Amino acid sequence: MENRSALPGADRLGVLTAAVLLTFALTRLLPADAVELRFTIGQFYLTYPVNLTTILTLLAGGLAATGMDWLLRGHPAFGQRAPAEHWLLPTLATLVAGVPLGVLPNGLSWWVTFAVAGLALAIVFIAEYIVVDPASPNYATATALLTALSFAVYLVLLTALRSTGPRLILALPSIFAASGLVSLRVLRLRVPGRWELAWAGGIALISTQLASALHYWPVSPIRFGLLLLGPLYALVSLAGSLEEKTPVRRAALEPIIVLALTWAAAALLG
């Protein structure tokens, strides 16, 4: 009888997680000298520093995507399914983990972040593997875990971006991409079999506009993250409920409550 609750093989999972972590560890060993890329448009110019840490973080994201695909090939229920939906969160989580790992100094804080990132990535890989099969007894738990991790990754990204203080024109593309990918993945989990591209694009656009408005406000990184996390969660929840044909009044109840709670938390943390 087929094992419907199959978990990824420990050997494959270990190799994938170790490969990604090794890429991050190399950022501590290789030179960090940056090369500035300069883009000129008329009288305006933009400079963006690129170093080996940036390149290795992008490489780690690529490893997470290709490694997730390799991991899924061993799933008994995978068949000929398109694996693209299972690449989104592992890639985004890896890229986001690279932000604090790239700016923290050597020491205990870096190693703690390194260990937490490794554990979180392993959990993402396992949960993505489980949700391949809706008949798995762990499917509901894995779906809820991936949803929670998607929003957690988004909050970490916003907090890290605010802490590093990039120019608005550099921060907005990252926020737009992260908002769209998180929305797309969560809606895909909630409405299986459909890509809600219109919803994800609209939510990403609204999130980017809110980020633009908050960029010059004197708010702390965690407050900045919570002020943007609340609307993202509310919009994704509303979109999912409406796609499930839930009446508008009932669909709007949870988003309003969560939005009020996150903004209240942001106010209290001020």
Which region, left, alpha or beta, applies to residue 134 given φ > 0 means left and ψ of -120 to 50 means alpha? alpha
User: At 217, which amino acid appears?
Assistant: W
- Dihedral sign, Cα of residue 250, residue 254, residue 259, residue 260: positive
Question: Is residue 244 packed enough to be buried (19+ CB in 10 Å), middle (13-18) or exposed (0-12)?
Answer: exposed
> Which of 33, 32, 61, 37 minimizes the C-alpha distance to 49?
37
Tokens coding 170? 């550099």
Lowest model confidence (mean pLDDT) among 7-11, 232-236, 264-268: 7-11
The predicted structure's pLDDT at residue 56: 86
Percent of the chain with pLDDT over 90: 47
CA distance 215 to 161: 11
Residue 252: burial class (beta carbons within 10 Å; 0-12, 13-18, 19+) = middle
Lowest mean pLDDT among 35-49, 149-163, 223-237: 35-49
**Region 218-233: what's the mean pLDDT?**
93
C-alpha pair distances (Å), 194 with each of 69, 184, 240: 20, 10, 11
The span from the CA of 5 to the CA of 110, in Å, is 35
Distance, CA of 231 to CA of 251 (rounded, Å)? 15
pLDDT at residue 5, rounded to an integer: 46
pLDDT tens-digit series, residues 138-190: 888 999 999 999 999 999 999 988 988 777 787 888 899 999 999 999 999 98
Confidence of residue 69 (pLDDT cuts 50, 70, 90): confident
What pLDDT does residue 4 have? 47
CA distance 270 to 265: 9
The Cβ of residue 154 has, within 10 Å, a number of other Cβ atoms equal to 25
Share of the chain above pLDDT 70, in %: 89
Question: What are the b/e assignments for 211-222, b being 16+ CB within 10 Å?
Answer: beeebeeebeeb
35 forms beta bridges with 50
Mean of the per-residue pLDDT values for the chain?
A: 86
- The pLDDT value given to residue 1: 38
Whether the pLDDT of residue 116 is over 90: the answer is yes
The whole-model pTM stands at 0.87
Split at pLDDT 50, 70, 90, the class of 122 is very high
